[in-house]
Amino acid sequence: MLGRAVDDASTGSDSDYSNSWISWFLSSKGNEYFCEVEEDYILDRFNLTGLNNEVSNYAQALDLITDNLDDDIQDELRGALDVQARLLYGLIHARWIVTARGLAKMLEKFKRVDFGRCPRVLCQSQPLLPVGLSDIPYEKSVKLYCGRCEDVYSPKSSRHGSIDGAYFGTSFPHLLFMVYPHLIPPKSGPVEPAPPPRVSETDANKRNRRTREDPEVAEVINEPASTANVALKADRYRPRIYGFQLHEIAKLQRWQEAVRDRQVGRLEALEDLS
């Protein structure tokens, strides 16, 4: 999925680049999770240390992002450079959003609920934050982290689901809660409501028409699996900052796993009796 998304080069005309490549990129469908990286951060080569080893045609891709690319570049080469520019901007973005200014910009998006809400009922529509399961490109797609249940979910949109998780990194949501501890959600109780997004009449009509046109999918009933086996195979998300697991969360998770192990033992005993 990630490879297909990266290989999907832009089909925009030269007029699309007339204002700013970054503005064009941020306004493209599927890039709503990204925030704008300030130009002075990109132009400081210290912030880009090591990225020349991650991106081919690094110098030209950087020129494209900063709107300094020669206009005489052929269209075929420009399409290939656009793919590399997307990769480079994504990796710069992962570094930017863990700075003070980057966190402030992502905080605004979090307050607007730009990343959606937790689908878990008991989380009561807790706003989500994007997180990567790996800092290495092309390994894992972006997920959405809920600070209330401390679990991760896949984005609803396939456009968002194809974004590389390395463009947000593994540390971002946890650093945000460390810098803004008042945002850490309680484990119970209502979530502070946010204003609902405006839905135009055209969007509502499209949604209703799409609902009517979507075919019904037949429900597939499989044989019930062992509840204990499913619980043991479940992969648990572990919040980390720069590779180190958070101390308080680590202590909580050890307690949660002990409770789960006791519950699994009870389930196995009940299944043996049955």
Per-10-residue mean pLDDT of the chain, 274 residues long, equals: 46 52 94 95 94 92 89 72 94 95 96 95 93 92 92 93 94 91 80 53 50 43 53 60 60 68 82 80
Res 249: pLDDT: 60
> With contact defined as beta carbons under 8 Å apart, do 68 and 43 qualify?
no
Res 219: pLDDT: 41
Res 144: pLDDT: 96
Structure tokens at 5: 């998304």
Show the DSSP H helices in 130-213 as ranges.
158-161, 172-179, 201-213
Res 34: pLDDT: 97
Res 14: pLDDT: 45
DSSP per residue over 60-123, as a string?
Answer: HHHHHHTT-S-TTS-HHHHHHHHHHHHHHHHHHHHHHTTSHHHHHHHHHHHHTTTT-B---GGG
Res 146: pLDDT: 93
Res 224: pLDDT: 54
Res 263: pLDDT: 81
Res 210: pLDDT: 47
pLDDT by residue (tens digit) across 82-126? 999 999 999 999 999 999 999 999 999 999 999 999 999 989 999
Task: Give me the chain's average pLDDT, please.
Answer: 78
Res 200: pLDDT: 52
Res 213: pLDDT: 46
pLDDT by residue (tens digit) across 39-59? 999 999 999 999 999 999 899
